[in-house]
Structure 1
């Protein structure tokens, strides 16, 4: 499971990001709780998520082309420095009790712009950290494990800190967490191949990237499935402060349990993916995971028993993580090398970029029909999306390698 850690560069990246991501999840939990505590508005909860992720809908194609033309490692270092500055500004605002929703929204937007480049860069850099391409799927799965372990530990710590030391401690902790990641980055010895600057304008490259994705039906169909899930299913998590505070009459600790539960499910899924010896069944895994994800949040909407709700959150985390990670790994291992940055950018656009639009819609719908009904609708959409994807592969795209037998072989 840990074979990718034998590579020095990936090991340093893994350790540094592990610390930084815990701070990030502490801050995310604190922001969601703070916004709902101050406003009591489901719509504003969705709005904060929207502005933090909407740049990932607009910028990734440009970011992918930019990264294909520049040194990916230097770009990553720069994005981490800018993120640290943004974290300092947010921490200072909360420390001095300048509770401005407008300020939080603005700084969330700044972080969203940086993340559009940062995530694309980190994903495309992964192959440069692992000497043997055969270990790339394992590295991607370990990276996902790290992210989801932070998603368990970060909110759990935040739940305790919010009720004891206060919100400002969470924000300051995130600022300080960038120090070890920057140290690890500067200790890495990595040589990235920089594509020679072409004569073509970047807009021509953007068009080429879109044409490539459109022509690769396996890639494009998976990206569409992920976009549907990101628009209508994944944003269910936006409403968890409402579940914790209003439906279960809980506190920040209750909310942190919900965040940690979905992180635990995602970690279980990541460990399973990290132990895969081949990447032959990734499409099948994505389909099953999509069904599991939809079923998990549908059941979550139907229960009023907290332990059962937490179990269904774990189930949802398993499905969500397996779906997104399987699609990510498939794209990275099947995209043409000269198009990898642009292919990954479309994955990020379909994943992180579409979520903010969905969060805004989910927040607005919850104001009208309630949080539980909204989550139930999201679960049904997730199940229908998985069934529709299977129907497309089996019946719409024809026989031969895309027949039912062909799909099983994958």
Structure 2
């Protein structure tokens, strides 16, 4: 970026953004696959909730702080400060010591191939159920900013955008902090599926797009469901997949999410133009309900259970 700023080069700027995206695509899978190595199984849900809170803080606070810094500092100074903090972060990362599990050490000689992840996913119904439900929610999550902008324009209330971001973010942070206490040793599979119906309720509320109160309340409900659902499914992945497969799986999932994000963004934009936001939210509610009902039936029929015991052991 320094080269792009110095020479006003669009090509260098695009190259820098590509490198940033490559780094970002490695970061999240690395964190999610490393958590089980440094956290006891009984604390995985809590750790995933904390990670979600940190992610929410950086998304909301980082955007606000970034806007202030862009308005008050020149780009060169801004990227220079970013570089200093990245160097400090790399230094702290080098000092970290992540213990290697016995299972990972024994399989180190024969590393898992990327294509071997697919049989693992098929052999674990709980993982497959979590991935299917997540794919449905990506339709909303990908177009999140676009939908908020649409609500704001429809109600001709620019301040509504700030309220929706604040309510959704605060709701996520509050409920993610108490997720483990509420869930305890309950079945994570059926628990995560039931929250699909809460997502559907929030989408129905958002379909009343001209009601300011209902839209704000619905975003709060969405934040609540989000705060429980995503730590639960991440914990399912971490508990059900073997140590040597987690890194490959989370990398594969990150790649699939990015591909689906582009498709979902196109679908969201097209639906908002063709059928309007109210009808689109009803469609999302129906899809979330159907996905929840189908996967709940499968989970009950096959008696799929993934539980996190409070004593530190995992019951599956």
- Inter-CA distance 183–254: structure 2 relative to 1 (3 Å threshold): farther
1:303 aligns with 2:209: yes
Q: Aligned partners of 2:225 and 2:74: how far apart in 1?
A: 33
Q: Aligned partners of 1:154 and 1:310: how far apart in 2?
A: 22
Q: Aligned partners of 2:214 and 2:25: how far apart in 1?
A: 36
Q: Aligned partners of 1:175 and 1:168: how far apart in 2?
A: 13
Q: Residue 112 of structure 1 is aligned with which of 21, 26, 33?
A: 21
1:321 aligns with 2:223: no
1:136 aligns with 2:44: yes
Paired residues of 1:239 and 1:371 also in contact (CA < 8 A): no
- Inter-CA distance 138–369: structure 2 relative to 1 (3 Å threshold): same
Counterpart position of 1:235 = 142
Residues 267-324 of structure 1 deviation map (CA, whole Å, 9 limit, x = unaligned): 1331122435744421122112211112212211213233432221121122123222
Q: Residue 367 of structure 1 is aligned with which of 270, 273, 279?
A: 273
Unmatched runs of 5 consecutive residues or more in structure 2 = 306-314
| Equivalent residues in 2 for 1:266-305, closer than 5 Å | 266-275=172-181, 278-305=184-211
Counterpart position of 1:122 = 31
Partner of 1:303: helix, strand, or coil? coil
Matched residue count:
300
| Equivalent residues in 2 for 1:15-26, closer than 5 Å | none
Residue 175 of structure 1: CA displacement?
3.3
- Inter-CA distance 239–290: structure 2 relative to 1 (3 Å threshold): same
Partner of 2:178: helix, strand, or coil? helix
- Give TM-score scaled by structure 1 length: 0.61
Q: Aligned partners of 2:259 and 2:179: how far apart in 1?
A: 24
Q: Residue 185 of structure 1 is aligned with which of 75, 85, 93?
A: 93
- Inter-CA distance 312–387: structure 2 relative to 1 (3 Å threshold): same
Counterpart position of 1:165 = 71
Paired residues of 1:227 and 1:350 also in contact (CA < 8 A): no
Partner of 1:383: helix, strand, or coil? helix
Paired residues of 1:261 and 1:310 also in contact (CA < 8 A): yes
| Equivalent residues in 2 for 1:1-400, closer than 5 Å | 92=5, 110-130=19-39, 132-155=40-63, 161=68, 165=71, 172=78, 175=82, 178=86, 181-192=89-100, 198=109, 205-230=113-138, 232-243=139-150, 245-251=152-158, 254-275=160-181, 278-349=184-255, 351=257, 353-395=259-301, 397=302
- Inter-CA distance 348–273: structure 2 relative to 1 (3 Å threshold): farther
Q: Aligned partners of 1:107 and 1:280: how far apart in 2?
A: 45
Unmatched runs of 5 consecutive residues or more in structure 1 = 1-84, 404-408
Q: Aligned partners of 1:298 and 1:178: how far apart in 2?
A: 42
Partner of 2:156: helix, strand, or coil? coil
Q: Aligned partners of 2:73 and 2:295: how far apart in 1?
A: 43
Q: Aligned partners of 1:167 and 1:394: how far apart in 2?
A: 57
Q: Aligned partners of 1:109 and 1:376: how far apart in 2?
A: 36
- Inter-CA distance 144–304: structure 2 relative to 1 (3 Å threshold): same
Residues 336-383 of structure 1 deviation map (CA, whole Å, 9 limit, x = unaligned): 222222333344455555333212211222232233432332232212
Paired residues of 1:290 and 1:386 also in contact (CA < 8 A): yes
Residues 149-180 of structure 1 deviation map (CA, whole Å, 9 limit, x = unaligned): 33443455567x49x937978x9389366455
Paired residues of 1:291 and 1:383 also in contact (CA < 8 A): yes
